[in-house]
Structure 1
Amino acid sequence: MIKHFYLWICASAILLSTCGDNSHEASEQYEKAVKLFEAGQYESARNAIDSIEQLYPKAFKQIKEGMLLLCKVKQKESERNLLYIDSVLKVRRSELEAAKKAFRFEKDAKYQTEGNYVYNKLPKQEAITRSQLKVLVTENGQMQLASVYYGSAPLKHSSIRVTLPDKSKAETLAIGYDGANNYRFSNDGKYTEIVTYKDGQCSAVASLIADNTDKAITLTYLGGSRYTLVLDRLTREAVKATRDLYNLMRSVDDLSREYQLNVRTLELADKQVMQLEKQQAEK
């Protein structure tokens, strides 16, 4: 009986030793993470830190040290990101300002809360006297196309299609009649219809035109009676220039948001590092 009890004690001791905190192995993994961090390999350092808790869940000391190191990784990543984003943002802003020189800014203070950028070469038109495709970018960075119909009979159109000579085509989304983005009126026996398509509603059409400015492009009014016209070179050129301006405006906005996100991430990481270092110093 005593012999069996002794054997049970030895087996238990062996089992406990294999289920300990593995502090030596955890320390080695932590040191590996530190070396990766110092080498600027932040993603690999993150993985090494995460593996400490996964492989050695009882190595509390190394896990806590890993938490502090992870915060320092976030600091360095954010600092690196801020430097990169700032350099790219300066270039994009410079490109945007240069691109805006090809546009005029139009805003009727009495009726508009937001102005528009319109391609300089397009004529200013107070009255609608012909069917055409209009294009602009709002000052807040929204691209818009507008199909304008002017004729002796109503169409009641709600969308448009553009077609290349090789039959490649693209269509806008259909905009239901609402008296705003799709509205109609008649005057002196002439009918006018204007349908406005915003951003995602006209992206495919704008891209097809912008990528094929050297080709004859047919514009077809859809949703009611059919009507077609061939886009003139100036309109094709205006769509391309406007699409490019829109992309630059969107790029600047995206980079600005990304910059602010990294600023907030860095501020949070700074606070976490201070708190964790204070906690370790108090022990």
Structure 2
Amino acid sequence: MKKAALLACLCCTLFACEDIEKKAGEKLQAARLAFEQGDYSEAKKQIDSIKILYPKAFETRRAGIGLMQEVELKEQEQSLAYLDSMLQVKQQEFDAVKSKFAFEKDAEYQKTGNYLHPAQVIEKNLHRSFLRFQVDENGVMSMTSIYCGSRNIHHVAVKVIAPDGSFAETPASKDSYETTDLGEKIEKADYKMGEDGNVMGFLYLNKDKNIKVNYLGERPYSTHMTVADRQALASVYELAQLLSSMAEIKKNMEEANLKIGFVKKKMEERKA
């Protein structure tokens, strides 16, 4: 009697297991169909549901892991192809405008060069106090407040003011220095985008307005941006947006390639 009861229990367990695997298999088949149709989100949803609804369907879950890896690989390959096409478009845009900028790079000291408007190259702006703008090859824009005069003002920040009274002000520069050339006092302070109190963004929004620049230091000094300087700001700002988007795309492509390599390694390990 006990043997008959044990046999009945084993049969029930076997049938239950077969039923679980059957139902889990239906989910896996739905996942495969979604994968073949290119609906990767639905495929992953179906695979994840197997683990939640049928945790004891071990064979089907193992097959689901393999299918999940195929889905993830296809997703990353698709993403990489899309990113590559975006980069080509951005590269074409850059190639069309880069000749309009001067490029400066000291091969001995600099790993990354800088683009600036031709009107703001140093040779054309000696003995002048102004805001100079540049962007490096990775799309990081920066501004330099340059002061030239008969005596030092020891400035470390600037405030820019629009005609309506609105303004933006940099925090104290993290990189400033002073020198003297043939009796002329020269001061420079650098500010990177994101660490400039949104001064560059403010100037871009007000690029068509007469902007007053107050140098903030031990002695007061102010000037106005010339039309050429405002044009330089606008063109460099737009180039920075383009270069930074290209840098972001390249970063995402590197991440996609790393994920592809990781998934392929896991797939090889499963086959071994």
Length-normalised TM-score, structure 1: 0.82
What is the Cα deviation at residue 228 of structure 1? Answer: 2.0
**C-alpha distance in 1 between matches for 2:260 and 2:109:** 43
Deviations 1:55-93 (A, max 9, x none): 211100110111011011012111211221111110111
Q: 1:110 to 1:50 in 2, by over 3 A?
A: closer
Tell me the residue number matched to 2:118: 120
What is the Cα deviation at residue 260 of structure 1? Answer: 2.4
Q: 1:18 to 1:124 in 2, by over 3 A?
A: same
What is the Cα deviation at residue 54 of structure 1? Answer: 1.6
**C-alpha distance in 1 between matches for 2:216 and 2:15:** 75
Matched AA of 1:212: N
1:66-77 equivalences in 2 (<5 Å): 66-77=64-75
CA-based RMSD of the aligned residues comes to: 3.1
What is the Cα deviation at residue 15 of structure 1? Answer: 9.7
- Partner residue of 1:217 out of 204, 211, 215: 211
Tell me the residue number matched to 1:79: 77
What is the Cα deviation at residue 98 of structure 1? Answer: 1.7
Tell me the residue number matched to 1:146: 144
Q: 1:260 to 1:128 in 2, by over 3 A?
A: same
- Return 5+ residue gaps in structure 2 as ranges: none
- What SS is found at the alignment partner of 1:213? coil
Deviations 1:181-237 (A, max 9, x none): 211134565432110112322371111112221112222222433322221111111
1:117-196 equivalences in 2 (<5 Å): 117-122=115-120, 124-125=122-123, 128-175=126-173, 181-187=175-181, 190-196=184-190
What is the Cα deviation at residue 239 of structure 1? Answer: 1.0
Length-normalised TM-score, structure 2: 0.85
**C-alpha distance in 2 between matches for 1:87 and 1:203:** 35
Q: 1:127 to 1:59 in 2, by over 3 A?
A: same
- Partner residue of 1:253 out of 247, 250, 263: 247
**C-alpha distance in 2 between matches for 1:109 and 1:264:** 31
